[in-house]
Amino acid sequence: MAFVITAPCKDELAAECVDVCPVDCIEKGEDQYYIDPAICIDCGACQAVCPVEAIYYEEDLRPDEQPYFEKAKEFFSK
């Protein structure tokens, strides 16, 4: 399991999550940040500091937020 950055981050790009990630699994995309699900250690540090409450645990995503997990997997598959 991994944490996922969702819609509130889109175009916000507040990078607090990047600064606290102990495994450097968060990268900036064109319009939002993404968490690499293969590297995320589920520590929750990013979620605790997100000013727009955009970060959720993968299993807590609502159906309408699921595309953000797919976008993250696609972003890191390149």
pLDDT digits (tens, 9 = 90+) for 52-74: 999 999 999 999 999 999 999 99
Domain ranges, ordered by start, for the chain = 3-76
pLDDT 10s digits, 2-48: 999 999 998 888 899 999 999 999 999 999 999 999 999 999 999 99
Report strand pairing: 33-35 vs 3-5. Answer: unpaired
- pLDDT for the residue 58: 94
Query: Which pTM does this prediction carry?
Result: 0.93
CATH fold of 3-76, please? Answer: Alpha-Beta Plaits (3.30.70)
Q: Is residue 11 within 8 Å of 32, Cβ to Cβ?
A: yes
Furthest CA-CA distance within the chain: 29
